[in-house]
Amino acid sequence: MKLTIILSMLILVARPAFSSELKFNLEHGFVSPNCEIDLLTCFSSRIESSNTDEKLKAIVIYLSNYDVLHTSYEYEKLLIDLKNISSVDNVNALYIQSLIYYSGYYVDEDAIRAVELLKPIEEKNSYPYVYELLGKSYYKMLLLEEDENERNELYKLSKLNFYSAHKLGSKSSTRNLAFIMLNYGGYLDQVEAGKLLEYLSSLGGRMDVEIYERYNRLMNK
Beta bridge partner(s), residue 87:
90
Handedness of CA 170, 176, 179, 180 (dihedral sign): negative
Closest alpha carbon to 131 in 97, 93, 172, 100: 172
Closest alpha carbon to 182 in 130, 145, 219, 220: 219
User: What pLDDT was estimated at residue 25?
Assistant: 45
Q: How far apart are CA 141 and CA 110, in angstroms?
A: 9
User: What pLDDT was estimated at residue 64?
Assistant: 85
Question: Does this model's pTM top 0.75?
Answer: yes
DSSP state of 87: B
Amino acid at 98: S
User: What pLDDT was estimated at residue 120?
Assistant: 84
Would you give per-residue pLDDT tens digits along the chain (221 residues)? 444 444 433 444 444 445 555 555 444 445 555 676 788 998 999 999 999 988 998 998 899 889 989 999 999 999 999 999 988 678 889 999 999 999 999 999 999 999 999 988 877 778 898 999 999 999 999 999 999 999 999 999 999 999 999 999 999 999 999 999 998 999 999 999 999 999 999 998 898 898 899 888 888 87
Residue 116: count of CB within 10 angstroms of its CB? 13
Closest alpha carbon to 134 in 110, 150, 118: 118
User: What pLDDT was estimated at residue 99?
Assistant: 92
User: What pLDDT was estimated at residue 169?
Assistant: 93
